[in-house]
Structure formats: structure tokens, C-alpha cells
């Protein structure tokens, strides 16, 4: 229940085909995550979201948007650029998972090794990162986050409503189940 002074934060930028989407496009529940690849809390949320998707994969689509907090995480923007370079080659989610599973290895040398491990062309990806070829995409995600009231990572929206609860699997599963009740779909 909200009082007149409370405002429910809502997603202001709708999900489109340009977003990074994992799961069924017509799933009844959409989780939009604003994340930072170097943020340790995002790393925990990644593990929890992986479990939630394993349990409710047919009911949920996961959308990832960039919110690198560069003043705290010096490699976050570089990691986001690498993810976008991988996306250009149809490999966003593989890079996304690698980045979260190797958060302690996001410096340039280790990131290049990760790109190579995924079989991506390291020289091309490094050139794109160096030229900030994907900065417009990252900036677009960042601005959409600010418009939606995001001020920390991770921030999740479940069917366009900000999820302010814990990120543990039972809490996320309960939020998904509540959002999946007929009449509560807000997409």
C-alpha cells in the first residue's frame, strides 16, 4: 500500500527488439535488469537470476541494460563495451555470463583472454573497445535508467515496476509469481 508521499518507480523506457533479451519473447513476466559488470552485488544478482530463470524459464524473459558506475568500478564501461562488441557478433549473453563469472578479471589483459576464450576476434573487439564504438548504446541504457529512477546496481523491474525486495531466489520467485497472476500484467 502506498501513501500519497510514496511513488512506485516504473520503467520509463519500454522493452524493444533492440534490447538484450533472454527467454521467450512472449513470456508473461519481464525482468529488466540495470547492471554493472564490475559491481559485486550485480554478480550476486546474476547467480540468483540464473537460478530463477532455471526454475521459471518458460514464464520469464530477462532483459539486460547497462548502468556502469565508472567512478566506483573503473573497468565497468570497458566490460560493457566488450559485451556490446560480442552482441554485434550474436554472442552478448555468452560474454555477459563470462563477465559476471570472472568479475575479478575485468582488467584489459584478462578481458582480452576472456574474449579469446569465447572465440571472438580479440583484435577487432579491442579496436571497438578502444574506439568506444558502442558508447551510444551504453549511454542510451544509462539515460533510460536515470529516467526510471535507477541510482544503484543492480536495479530490477518486474513487469515495469521496480523490485525493491531482496534479490534472493525465493523473493524473486515470489515477485515473478505475483506478476504472473492474470490482470497484473503491465507490459
pLDDT reported for residue 185 = 45
Helix (H) or strand (E) holding 66: strand 60-66
DSSP-based three-state secondary structure for 140: helix
Peptide bond into 103 cis (omega under 30): no
Query: For the chain, what is the mean pLDDT?
Result: 94
Point out the least confidently predicted range of 4-13, 16-25, 75-84. 4-13
Q: How far is CA 176 from the centre of its chain?
A: 17
Residues 107-148: pLDDT tens digits? 999 999 999 999 999 999 999 999 999 999 999 999 999 999
Cα separation values, 44 from 38, 149, 178, Å:
11, 22, 23
Reading the block at residue 6, the C-alpha cell is: 510514496
Residues 48-76: pLDDT tens digits? 999 999 999 999 999 999 999 999 999 99
Amino acid at each position: 500500500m502506498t501513501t500519497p508521499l510514496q511513488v512506485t518507480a516504473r520503467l520509463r523506457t519500454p522493452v524493444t527488439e533492440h534490447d538484450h533479451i533472454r527467454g521467450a519473447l512472449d513470456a508473461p513476466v519481464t525482468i529488466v535488469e540495470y547492471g554493472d559488470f564490475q559491481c559485486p552485488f550485480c554478480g550476486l544478482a546474476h547467480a540468483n537470476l540464473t537460478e530463477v530463470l532455471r526454475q521459471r524459464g518458460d514464464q520469464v524473459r530477462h532483459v539486460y541494460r547497462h548502468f556502469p558506475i565508472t567512478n566506483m568500478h573503473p573497468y565497468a564501461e570497458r566490460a560493457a563495451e566488450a559485451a556490446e562488441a560480442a552482441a554485434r557478433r550474436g554472442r552478448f549473453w555468452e560474454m555477459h555470463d563470462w563477465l559476471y563469472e570472472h568479475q575479478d578479471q575485468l582488467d584489459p589483459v584478462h578481458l582480452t583472454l576472456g574474449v579469446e576464450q569465447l572465440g571472438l576476434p580479440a583484435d577487432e573487439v579491442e579496436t571497438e573497445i578502444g574506439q568506444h564504438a558502442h558508447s551510444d548504446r551504453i549511454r542510451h541504457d544509462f539515460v533510460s535508467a536515470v529516467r526510471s529512477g535507477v541510482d544503484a546496481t543492480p536495479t530490477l523491474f518486474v513487469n515495469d515496476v521496480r523490485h525493491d525486495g531482496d534479490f534472493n531466489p525465493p523473493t524473486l520467485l515470489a515477485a515473478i509469481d505475483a506478476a504472473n497472476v492474470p490482470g497484473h500484467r503491465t507490459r
